[in-house]
A and B are shown apart, each in its own frame.
Chain A
Amino acid sequence: SQQGEEDPQALSIQEGENATMNCSYKTSINNLQWYRQNSGRGLVHLILIRSNEREKHSGRLRVTLDTSKKSSSLLITASRAADTASYFCATDDNFGNEKLTFGTGTRLTIIP
């Protein structure tokens, strides 16, 4: 798989349910960031988790990072219709470069 692969590719859930998206990557990282993109629009930064962190919370978002498995998950609790969007993970590398490598994204649809 490529650096930054999310699964599932698409997810549809009922409003109020929790949504979990996963991201796997191949190389060592310094940090992993999650972004949201509404259709055809810009990327909204959601949360950053560093390689020495295992879990981070921000409002209804919970991100975990398992560096031994090279994977991360994004949990959105109590989903709302406005959460409908594509979600991407993005990783840097640990060679001091700032460039982000993005995953393929999960398309989340919240059904009212």
Chain B
Amino acid sequence: EPEVTQTPSHQVTQMGQEVILRCVPISNHLYFYWYRQILGQKVEFLVSFYNNEISEKSEIFDDQFSVERPDGSNFTLKIRSTKLEDSAMYFCASSVGLAVLEQFFGPGTRLTVL
């Protein structure tokens, strides 16, 4: 069964460094998302992406964050200058969209900022 994949599974970085989290959505899906979950807290929406542009973003998704679909398969989340509070599990999700609304999530990347 097709699934969303994410790499790396765990990323450790120093505060102020740039990180890129990578995702490969399910191949026929058109809508892509990033969510994050700080340890012990709710899963929070960051951004949605459709037709090569951001369709919606949350307050969390400030200028330090960016997303890109550099080719036909990858979907990336870049954090330009990481802060301690960016430590969280980051989930990528995708959906077919239109009338098919289920969002399928990847296994997550655990980001630890030291």
Residue positions of A touching B, CB distance < 8 A:
4, 30-31, 33, 35, 40-45, 48, 50, 88, 90, 92, 97-105
How many A-B contacts are there with CB distance less than 8 Å? Answer: 62
Given contacts A98-B55, A99-B56, contact A92 B45 (CB under 8 A): no
Given the known inter-chain contacts A43-B43, A103-B42, please indicate yes or no for A48 contacting B101, CB distance below 8 A: yes
* Number of interface residues, chain B, beta carbon within 8 A: 25
How many Å lie between the Cα of A105 and that of B40 in the bound state?
10
Given contacts A41-B108, A97-B56, contact A102 B102 (CB under 8 A): no
Q: Chain B interface (Cβ within 8 Å of chain A)?
A: 31, 33, 35, 42-45, 48, 55-56, 58, 89, 91, 93, 95, 97, 101-108, 110
- Most chain-A CB neighbours within 10 Å: which of B43, B104, B105? B43
Establish whether residues B43 and A102, one from each chain, have CB atoms under 8 Å apart when the complex forms.
yes
**Are A43 and B101 in contact, with the CB atoms below 8 A?**
no
Q: Is the CB of A98 within 8 A of B95?
A: yes
Kindly provide the distance from the CB of A53 to the nearest chain B CB, expressed in whole angstroms.
12
